[in-house]
A = this chain, B = another copy of it.
Amino acid sequence: MTDTPTSAAPTDIRGPRLHGVYEALRAAVLSGEIRPGEGISETRVAARYGVSRTPVREAFRRLADEGFLRIVPQVGTFVAPIQLGAVSDSQFIRETLECRTVRLAAERAEAADVAALTRLLDSHRAVMAPDRHAEFFALDEATHAELARIAGRPAVWDLLVAVKAQLDRVRFLSLHSEGWAAKIVGEHQSIVDRVAARDPDGAEEAMRAHLRTVFAAVDEIARTNSHFFET
């Protein structure tokens, strides 16, 4: 009680109830199952998941901090509208940080790192079918995470995961067209090629082009779903 907290236990091994409710709600908001503006209530959610209000409250608070919910005291809790300003800021922050980390990755990559990236690309190509969308998404993320790891800055990707949240809400509004997967994988290939060639300038440029592709898609989806948004 008085001295060091024994060991470096991860911060987040709380009870399974809280975790379950949090994950379920986060997925529901992210996937659009619960739509922006819709009201939810601690009592109803607690009843639905068969738990008490306490873990639900903590999940609500956390989701509110992440920008997914908006808690209005004595009134209710609502799914936050997607804020276009936040989307733009997310894009700016992501581009700034990932262009820098991919430069570092290109400078520091060793043979094993390039091999790992190549493996990820192969796996990515294997799940390009439309019915494996979730796997494709996960491998997309994994590739970016691996680049951050190679750069020696894995925490940067951890931060980006949080920052990207509003971006991902937009993504889920619409699945992408037929050639989308191939385009993404092709751009990833370009990035990996430049990293493998120890070419920081080229790697940064490839990353920037890749992100601009992603951002353009986000903007297009935003335009066609403006009712979910808030300036």
Contacts and interface: CB of A to CB of B under 8 A. Distances in A.
B230 A11 contact: no
B153 A92 contact: yes
A39 B96 contact: no
Interface in A45-102: 57-58, 61-62, 64-65, 67, 70-73, 75-76, 78, 80-81, 85-86, 89, 92-93, 96-97, 100
Interface stretch (A1-9, A129-137, A179-187): A1-9
Contact of A73 (B15, B38, B86, B93): B15
A30 to B, nearest CB: 18
A163 interface: yes
A6 B13 CA distance: 27
Interface of A: 1-6, 8-15, 37-39, 41, 57-58, 61-62, 64-65, 67, 70-73, 75-76, 78, 80-81, 85-86, 89, 92-93, 96-97, 100, 153, 155-156, 159, 163, 230
9 contacts: A3-B37, A4-B78, A14-B73, A58-B61, A65-B65, A89-B156, A92-B156, A93-B97, A93-B159
Given A62-B61, A97-B97, A39 B155 contact: no
B93 A156 contact: yes
A210 to B, nearest CB: 18
A153 B37 CA distance: 26
Contacts of A6: 72, 75
A72 B14 CA distance: 8
A73 B5 contact: no
Given A61-B61, A97-B96, A155 B9 contact: no
Contacts of A70: 5, 9, 11
Given A65-B62, A159-B93, A71 B11 contact: yes
